[in-house]
Chains A and B, each alone.
Chain A
Amino acid sequence: MIPSQFDYVRVQSVDEAVAALTEHGEDAKLLAGGHSLLPIMKLRLAVPSVLIDISGIRDLSYVRVEGDEVAVGAGTRHHELERDAVAAAEVPILPYVAAQVGDPQVRHRGTIGGTVAHSDPASDLPTALLALGGTVVVQGPGGRREIPIPEFWLGFFETALEPDELIVEVRVPRTGTAGWAYEKFTRRANDWPIVAVAAVEGRVALANMAGSVVRATATEEALARGASIEEAAALADQGTSPGADMHADQEYRRHLARLLTRRALQRVAGGAAAAA
């Protein structure tokens, strides 16, 4: 499969990227790792007329502590995040979940900014980010702005990002030794999750249970009022709208959401060493 024709523009800085986006408008797409974009271009589900390659912007790849937060550069590749010592110490769910994305070859290319911008409801890292909270820092012609993570994903492939903006950073709170868990249910080793659940203390996020990644609000509210893990997890699918496909029908996905939420919360309660 071969993508439709497009023009290719390589930029060296965020300012150049914004200028190129402003020039080419909605017909342009940003190319970082390309592991979400190129597959849908090969299927002709996306037919951008211009690709703006931002992978050469060197200063977009970093993980660093800034006050109470950890800042992750949008160009940080999954395999870099996976083995980052700062991330492991300050926000350990991120490197753990980065290692669950696809397979090594995919993780060598894919970036955190790309997966956030793509807004696939089955994505691993957005699910973890939604449980963490924080902000997505974007830059456009008018400068930088911060979008709270819960407001960033609007639906399937749909975000709060304007066509002339790019993601430059993701900021999440330092969680240190707080309990966390990521429960991913797949059919095969490197598959997308049928359902996945990320939990950080009492915050719970679900993958593949709606048009975008979503919080399990009924579960979170139940935990906040002192319900048991079993009672809270039983509410995990409330307010969700999972799809059905050849792998799982809606009721099975709801069952998985409740089950995986219970397991995740049990791991959180068990302490920081929560990875499976």
Chain B
Amino acid sequence: MQVSITVNGQQRTDEVEPRLLLAHYLREVRGLKATNIGCDTTSCGACTVIVDGLSVKSCTVLAVQTDGAQVTTLEGLAGPDGEMHPVQQAFREEHGLQCGFCTPGMVMAAVGLLADNPDPTDREVREGLEGNLCRCTGYHNIVRAVRAAAQAGPAAGQVPQAQEVDA
């Protein structure tokens, strides 16, 4: 069936099977491979993206369910000039990643969390990221990175809109 999905500001119409998962749509149809598929069972959060302002696990959403929606992946966070999003910057500065596999989902979940709660406590960060697993167990630095991003200002919770990344 035909779907029209805006990903990182770029709207496109594609013919997809109803059973195509959003994660596969993003990776295989749109060619955006930052979104990782980890557990494929709604547990690990590696495939987290933002749909209409809310974080979701794209392995458990059908592409057809996002027809007409705005989807943001990790690729959509950096500015047109390559300037990193405050959450990306904070993950870099605070060493919020080790192997990096969970990072795209962790960053997207963090952006979603900060959009909802711009200045979370350590506990709120941990609870807000409970749907994301880091098998390197690098949680301390991840929590530190999210809090550092919050300290950097309200932009940390901003999901770039179409016009900002459409360059």
Contact = CB atoms under 8 A, between A and B. Distances in A.
Contacts of A7: 18
Interface stretch (A101-109, A169-177, A211-219, A233-241): A101-109
Contact of A105 (B1, B57, B65, B127): B57
B47 to A, nearest CB: 9
Interface stretch (B37-45, B94-102, B149-157): B37-45
Contacts of B162: none
Contacts of A105: 42, 45, 48, 55-57, 109, 112, 131
Q: Interface on chain B toward A: helix, strand, loop, or mixed SS?
A: mixed
A109 B67 CA distance: 15
Nearest to A41: B19
Contacts of A35: 42, 60
A33 B2 CA distance: 21
B133 to A, nearest CB: 9
B40 A1 contact: yes
Contact of A190 (B67, B113, B130): B130
A20 to B, nearest CB: 14
A157 interface: no
Interface in A45-78: 51, 53, 55
A5 B64 CA distance: 13
A2 interface: yes
A4 interface: yes
Contact of B18 (A1, A8, A108): A8
A6 interface: yes
Given A8-B64, A108-B55, A103 B131 contact: yes
A103 B56 CA distance: 10
Interface string A234-252: 0000000000000000000
B34 interface: no
A133 interface: no
Interface range, B side: 20 to 34
B67 to A, nearest CB: 8
B130 A6 contact: no
B75 interface: no
A2 B54 CA distance: 24
Nearest to B57: A105
Interface in A1-53: 1-8, 10, 31, 34-35, 38-39, 42, 51, 53
B56 to A, nearest CB: 5
Contacts of A31: 62, 65
Contact of B130 (A2, A3, A104, A109): A104
A276 interface: no
A109 B61 contact: yes
A83 B39 CA distance: 29
B112 A51 contact: no
B17 interface: yes
Nearest to B52: A108
B21 interface: yes
B128 interface: yes
A109 B19 contact: no
Nearest to A50: B18
- In the A-B complex, the 5 residue pairs with the smallest Cβ-Cβ separation, listed nearest first, are A103-B131, A8-B18, A108-B54, A189-B130, A190-B130
Interface of A: 1-8, 10, 31, 34-35, 38-39, 42, 51, 53, 55, 79, 102-106, 108-109, 189-190
Interface of B: 1, 17-19, 21, 24, 40-43, 45, 48, 54-57, 60-62, 64-65, 67, 109, 112-113, 126-128, 130-132
8 contacts: A1-B40, A1-B41, A3-B19, A5-B18, A6-B19, A34-B62, A105-B56, A109-B56
